Structure 1
Amino acid sequence: MTITFTTSLTLFFLLLHFSTHLQANYFPEDIFTISCGTTGNSSDGQRRWTGDEEYLSSQDGTVSEKATTQSFSINEIPYSTARLSRSQFNYSFPVSPGPKFLRLFFYPADYPSFSRSHASFTVQSNQFTLLNAFNASLHADAQAADAQAADAQATKTIFREYVVNVNDGERLILTFTPSHPNSYAFINGIEVLSMPTDLYYTPPNEIGFTQVGTTTLYSVETSSALQTEYRINSGGQQIPPQNDICLFRDWADEEAFFIKENQQNNDLPADMDGKMSITVSPDYLAPKELFRTARNQGTNGTLNKMSNLTWVFPVDCGFTYVLRFHFCELDPLINDMGDRRFFIYINNQLAEDRADVLKWSEKQKGVAVHRNYAVMIPKNGNQKRFNLSLQMHPYESSVDTTYSDAFLNGLEIFKISEDQSNNLAGPNPDPWTPLLFSTTKSTNDYNFSLPSDQCRQFSLVEIKAATKNFDSVFIVGEGGFGHVYKGYIDNGSIPVAIKRLRQGSQQGACEFVNEIQMLSQLRHRHLVSLIGYCCDNKEMILVYDFMGRGNLRDHLYGTDNPSLSWKQRLKICIGAARGLRYLHSGAKHVIIHRDVKTTNILLNEKWVAKVSDFGLSKIGPNEMSKAHVSTAVKGSFGYLDPEYFIRQRLTEKSDVYSFGVVLFECFAMICEIGISCLSQEGIQRPSMNDVVLMLESALKLQESADESEEEVREDVFDIEEHHISSKANDKLMLELFSEIVDPKPR
């Protein structure tokens, strides 16, 4: 092995790092940490970086430049300086045979004579294509948009990690090729690190692991390359690279991927004081810190068997992915094999039946174990991305297991290169259009591009007068956006609902603009009316007609309000359906609501239903263009169309699905009675007297529905005189309502 001066310095810093940890079982043979476009040595406080000239095959045509602007939130090393070229250039690293971590660091900013938007290039390593026609600025903008940044042009760094096997006698070669004559290639930092041969590649003596949805076993061969898509610490904070012995992996927190709304209990059992004994063997599999926290469903006594743990990870279509699950059983109540069992589903397919961590660890508490699963995400037309879902369900039976709550300590997801083409490259994201606002320098006001001619613009003085300076006694509702106040405008003559968004919420800003642009152009009896808005002094306030009876959910769950009759329920559903029908087929453009749920169906004093909250709404497809809109998934869990969720293809049928969920919430009472009778603990079940009383109440509702059946039928067929272009949807709705009123025997 040839060790350069730079490598020696890096080894020295690694030895200092290990002096505060247990001695590692593995020490990397090859370590290259390159700050591109620089000379000499530098440090970022964690690692030692060296210049790149020694590893460039040729410097002809390349230049070294500093970024024109540098964000304070971005590390200067290695991101401030780049190697750039309008022609192909190569790096060559003398390495020992075996698998290597290859990490690439990009800062897509403007550089002198190199415009940010013109960077487009292909990156190859040995026989593998890692990136193809890679537009770094599009990825940075999409990254900013996903984070709901107010200014999507605020440049973000791009990081890519790969695993590439180098054969005996080979060097690790990196080739950067501009996509076309007007583009250029660039790179800010490169890291090459040897890794154990058995870490991610399947050892020759192992038979492989489950490929979900098939009966075949899957192996990761050294003839393939891997791209790290996600590496998360479940239930805990980020574990930075310097805390991952030897291999400097970054374990992100799960916040962006975990679906909180899917269950009531999201406990995070933890060994934060580090007193519990944890064994990770070999120790390079994952840092011990990973196993001191976990995402858990909660104790068995309060576990809802219908709940689950759910994560969603956007990935490229057309590739096989390997998911590595990390577990360590620390629960003092779990002491024997079979004490805790649960199910693992990947893309709604069963991957593990009755997962038993103590069985995998051979009945050893505190011993870390992992399980691998492969899943193929096929290509589907022009679809670029797919939402890879992971669900962990409790084990339903209490006969052969005591505890059934699922848990997870950590997860890694890898994309595997295509067999024939050795390709790992995915598509560029679609260009993102930034939001049409910014704050002015002279005032504290927002400068929105909004239709003031189509709705009223209120001053903050008027809003404060209407709410007595936002007096808490006027609060009639609240949510993640902020508070809703009942106020009076025009000298106290008109009651209104005033929704005040919390300041600093970038997601709220996006929805604020969208709602005004949508609702200012819509008028319908079953859509809530937008009166106006206020954007003074960085406030984002919306003013609507006041709906005296609140939202539908308040009349269905957890309330002292009288039960709705079947007649009322059906009229409410019909009104909401008419509002949605108008959006889909009666307005100038197809409008997809994207957040249909019972809290977004409001009721006025006369029980007229109106669809509200258009913050997530989107202009849909038309017959002249295409059948769907490709867009990031937005909406509320439980009401979300699974087709839209999986394929990211939005159509008006996504609203139909959500409305179907609303219809079933008209039927919640009998289901709730049955579920309460099936509670795991006897003390949580109702008495038979309670059961009789609840059933009698349900019977009275049914009798009321029977008496008014003919009138309800007339209401169902009382179709409004709006232009209809989707007869099939209406027919489906009518048949569904008819089935509700007069169910046929099956």
Structure 2
Amino acid sequence: MNNPISKHPIKTLTPLLLPLFLRMIAIHMAGALPPYVPSEQISLQCGSAGPKFVRDSRYWGGDIRSIFFPFEHQAARNNSVVKDSPLSSYSGQPPYSSARLSRFKFTYTFPLSAGPVFIRLYFYPASYAPNFNRSQALFSVQAGGFTLLHDFNASATADASASDTIYREFCLHTESGHNLNITFTPSNASPDAYAFINGIEILSMPPYLYYTSPQSRDGVTHVGSENTTRINNNTALEMVYRINIGGERWISSDQDTGMYRNWEEYSAPKEVYQSSRSKDTSTDMNVTIIDRYNLTWKFPVDSMFAYLVRLHFCEFDGDVTMPGYRVFNIYIDNQSAEKMADIIEWTGGNERPVYRDYVVFMSGNPAIPKKVNLFLELESDLLNGYWVAILNGLEMFKLSANRSLAGPSPDPPPIAPAKGTPSKPSTRSRTPLLATVVGVACGILGVSVLGFLVFRRRRKVKSTASDGSSSLPTHLCRYFSLAEFKAATQNFNQSFIVGVGGFGHVYKGHIDGGATPVAIKRLKPESSQGAHEFKTEIELLSQLRHRHLVSLIGYCTDKNEMILVYDYVARGTLADHLYQTDNPPLSWGQRLQICIGAARGLRYLHSDAQGTIIHRDVKSTNILLDEKWVAKVSDFGLSKVGTATMSKTHISTAVKGSFGYLDPEYYRRQQLTVKSDVYSFGVVLCEVLCARPAVVHATETRQMNLAEWTKSCHHDGELDQIIDPNMKGKIETECLNKYVEIAMSCIHDSGMERPSMNDVVRGLEFALQLHQNCGERNEDAFASVPGCTTNESVQCISETIFSEINDPNGR
């Protein structure tokens, strides 16, 4: 096994962090060293005159008549005011028991020594009588030359998180001889806007807890790149997630290691390594989705920022004692971050905590910042290990860009007026009403203009200017000139053709000075596909990124051409390795892995993408295989997009697809559903099992549908007649039973009786485990193994011994 430490150095226990990590693993130990003691610690209760004791042994000193009284930037009559918090559960509870508020800028100054610090801001967005309505709290916060928050809508943020209070944690590096200034500035967007703060906490941290040591030769692995990234002192960080994976409760700051960090439910410092997520478990946490053999989390984050993702691991299972027992792959933002992760190999033994750091950039539309989903997936490598993946804890930090960490505030939830109560304008101020009216009018105008532009773009997809500019927005993906593609393919020389389809020819070429191999798909004039499919492919693939979806690089519309360019996928299509080929037959393990990969890609389209996406043309020639045999679903020209919630169960549309793969229910009713993709994928499963095309040419005058033929043989117990001869004696009987069960359920005549793609993934992963239990490690030397299929055992397989997959309607 290759040692990954050489490429990605492990964070080991330095003397400075030793107390931190000893406390983390003080589970089977009689004692531990004292926790980290900060050299700087300020806990400020804003708007208060005296210290108050709080549960975590911190004293919150008031800012009135103290050295931390804020500097007012206006005349005395415009100074900030202090208010006690309204009567609630937070009354008398620092740091939320009082607040400082102002419609003008004010600054706190803190004399600090040089080094990294935590800055924690505490907000209780309530209405502070008589003049500060909670909905008018709109302000920015700057600290140490960084913008931490910009036009921060406190009430909308609290409402969106269903919490009465807001807690924000930042990290930045203070310089020697410079005070730390934290400035609160009301927004110019409204004359009634004001800034407020309830509590400020500043705490020194170990120097290289999150920052890169200048003595370190290596930086942090940059996901999706061969480069590394250094977290230098000129970078500010914002903590966005700190989670105890597998924990059953949140860990409060007083249980941390002297840094008073809060670990959300599911997270902890010491306890973080006691619990881990490694089984098929359901959860109501909205950031987590658990599969049987791989773990997937979905984290909403701001686009156009880079993120530091820290994963905490510790092996406590006494049965996992040697390298190679628990091996898994790590994917972040659907890109490979770590291959064959092995905790024992990293640490040398049990009960030894370790963390791994990764940096990933979350792209988006720079003109319209919004939330995007960052996916984290741990995939069990059952070919190389014996145990499923684990994760004990996670921390995620946003990294500053252009000295800013500010992201968009969430939209406030709509408030319905009381039934029978007419709405009336406020008598206190007419200005906000006027601003609202103007804003609504501008919004309607903007939507109208946007609608017109979208309509124009739909009408002019195929039109191009003589200079090569396209009506398709170039921000979606890279735009190429026709000259670049001619150079990459020697003017579309036929010797460069690597594939032919309904769209046209596919050429292999090289771009970027020959450094990057790509697949170039050129629409032929007589193709039945055209501008609509071309546009659909660009708009979908440019916004989708997943390990098991083909990656779109760019497009060209010069001189009325329609050309798409993708990452080059070296091994061609799945069909190329099943039938009518000189390629050696795929092993059963390879076939299962390929099917699982393709199923995961479809599951992402159905469940995890922005809105439900129905591929509508799933077939073996649209499943590509890269150099490492990783399956990638391709060709999205016929795809349909539903709503994010898919409240309608189907999309009424004309029937399109490929003969032999078409869902018969879709064909009859012209009602497209995600179960239509499931049917097509079931046909692919039949192809993989039988090594035959979807339409079998039995004689010169007769064609036979493979799906129907497989169902007939399955019904009669005659699967041995059509199963790939290369697989006989090489598939464990229980594995074959499970596989055929999945395939038959996918091609059920009734869509309601078919499983979801999530259930298909689970079933195939279970089939892979059964295959591994059969003892196969090297199929080239595979002999007849007890419990594996023979001609006689295959003949005994019929529909009478199969049960339906649980919950065939999906989730």
TM-score, length of structure 2 as denominator length = 0.49
Structure 2: segments with no counterpart, 5+ residues: 1-25, 282-289, 423-602, 614-639, 652-670, 687-738, 744-763, 775-785, 803-811
Partner of 2:642: 652
| Letter in structure 1 aligned against 2:302 | D
Change (3 A) 1:651 1:188: farther
C-alpha displacement of 1:182: 2.2
2:146 corresponds in structure 1 to 128
Residue 351 of structure 2: aligned partner? 366
CA distance in 1: counterparts of 2:787 and 2:142, whole angstroms: 61
Aligned residue for 2:399?
416
Is the alpha carbon distance of 1:316 and 1:77 closer, same or farther for their aligned partners in structure 2, counting shifts above 3 Å? same
Q: Quick check: 1:167 aligned with 2:180? A: no
Q: Which residue of 2 aligns with 1:14?
A: none
Give the C-alpha shift of residue 288 in structure 1.
2.3
Matched, 1:218 2:250: no
SS in 2 for 1:662: helix
| Residue 425 (structure 1) aligns with | 406
Q: Secondary structure at the match of 1:252?
A: coil
Deviation, 1:234, is 0.6
Tell me which moved more, 117-126 or 687-696: 687-696
Q: In structure 2, what is the Cα distance between the partners aligned to 1:321 and 1:645?
A: 27
Equivalent residue number for residue 244 of structure 1: 256
Question: Is contact 1:677-1:686 (8 Å) kept?
Answer: no
Distance (Å, rounded) in 1 between the aligned partners of 2:338 and 2:412: 39
Contact 1:305 1:394 in 2 (8 A): no
Match of 2:112 in 1: 95
Shift of 1:687: 8.1
CA contact (8 A) 2:293 2:389 kept: no
2:322 alignment partner in structure 1: 336
Change (3 A) 1:29 1:83: same
Cα distance in 2 between the residues matched to 1:387 and 1:192: 30
Give the 3-state SS of the residue equivalent to 2:795 in structure 1.
Answer: helix
Q: 2:773 aligns with which of 658, 678, 681?
A: 681
Partner of residue 50 from structure 1, selected from 41, 45, 61: 61
1:290 aligned residue? 272
Q: Which amino acid aligns with 1:293?
A: S
Picking from 407, 410, 418, the partner of 2:390 is: 407
What does residue range 32-43 of structure 1 map to in structure 2 within 5 Å? 32-43=42-53
Residue 428 of structure 1 and its aligned partner are, at CA, apart by 1.1
Q: Retained in 1: the 8 A contact 2:612–2:643?
A: no
Partners of 1:298 and 1:405 within 8 A in 2: no
Which residue of 1 is the match for residue 201 of structure 2?
Answer: 191
SS in 2 for 1:345: strand
C-alpha spacing 1:75/1:156, structure 2 compared with 1 (3 Å): farther
Cα-to-partner distance string for 1:222-259 (whole Å, 9 max, x where unaligned): 1000000000001012111100021000111149xxxx
1:209 shift after superposition: 1.9
The one-letter code matched in structure 1 to 2:219 is G
CA positional deviation for 1:352: 0.6
Give the drift of 1:435: 6.3
Q: Deviations over 1:112-151 (max 9, x none)?
A: 211111111110001100000111011112112xxxxxxx
Distance of 1:159 and 1:346 partners within structure 2: 26
SS at match of 1:39: coil
Contact 1:677 1:685 in 2 (8 A): no
Residue from 651, 658, 661 that aligns with 2:674:
661
Offset of residue 186 of structure 1: 0.3
Cα drift, residue 214 of structure 1: 1.0
Please name the residue that 2:81 is paired with: 63
Deviation at 1:23, TM superposition (A): 3.4
Distance 2:200 2:372 in 1: 29
Q: 1:306 to 1:76 in 2, by over 3 A?
A: closer
Residue 71 of structure 1 and its aligned partner are, at CA, apart by 3.1
Report if the CA contact (8 A) 2:280-2:292 is conserved: no
Query: Given the superposition, is the C-alpha separation of residues 25 and 118 from structure 1 closer, same or farther in structure 2, using an over 3 Å criterion?
Result: closer
1:640 aligned partner, one-letter code: S
- Compute the TM-score of the two structures, normalised by the length of structure 1: 0.53
**Equivalent runs, 1:479-490 vs 2, <5 Å:** none
In structure 1, the residue matched to 2:760 is none
Structure 2 counterpart of 1:386: 372
Q: 2:315 touches 2:351 (CA, 8 Å); kept in 1? A: yes
Q: SS at the partner of 2:150?
A: strand
| Equivalent in the alignment of 2:308 | 322
Going from structure 1 to structure 2, the CA distance change for 1:40 and 1:25 (only over 3 Å counts) comes to closer
Shift of 1:98: 0.2
**How far off is 1:432 after superposition?**
1.2
Given that 1:325 and 1:372 are in contact with CA atoms closer than 8 Å, whether structure 2 keeps it comes out as yes
Residue type at the aligned position of 2:152: F
Q: Please give the alpha-carbon distance, in whole angstroms, between the structure 1 residues aligned to 2:254 and 2:787.
A: 48
Secondary structure in 1 matching 2:159: helix
**Residue from 785, 792, 795 that aligns with 1:692:** 795
Q: Which has the higher contact order (CA 8 A, sep 6+)?
A: 1
1:642 aligns with 2:609: yes
> Aligned residue for 1:608?
none
In the alignment, which residue of structure 2 is the partner of 1:519?
Answer: none
Structure 1 unaligned spans of 5+: 1-17, 145-154, 256-285, 439-446, 450-635, 700-746
Q: Give the equivalent residue in structure 1 for 2:186.
A: 178
Aligned residues: 433
Q: Distance in 2 between matches of 1:293 and 1:425?
A: 34
User: Quick one: distance in 2 between partners of 1:222 and 1:292?
Assistant: 33
**Alpha carbon RMSD of aligned pairs, Å?**
3.5
1:710 matched to which residue of 2?
none
- Give me the whole-angstrom Cα distance separating, in 2, the residues matched to 1:75 and 1:332: 48
Partner amino acid, structure 1, of 2:773: E
1:157-193: per-residue Cα shift (whole Å, max 9, x none)? 0100000110011111110111123211100001000
Structure 1 residues 288 and 696: alpha-carbon distance in aligned structure 2, compared to 1, 3 A threshold: closer
Q: How does 1:704-723 map to 2 (within 5 A)?
A: none
Q: Kindly provide the CA deviation profile for residues 276-298 of structure 1, in whole angstroms up to 9, marking residues without a partner as x.
A: xxxxxxxxxx7322111111136
User: In the TM superposition, what whole-angstrom CA distance separates every residue of 1:644-669 from its partner, at most 9, and x where no partner exists?
Assistant: 389xxx96366579965312444659
* Deviation of the 1:58 alpha carbon: 2.8
Which residue in the other structure is 2:215 paired with? 205
Shift of 1:684: 8.8
Hey, what's the Cα distance between the residues in 1 that align with 2:153 and 2:643?
A: 33
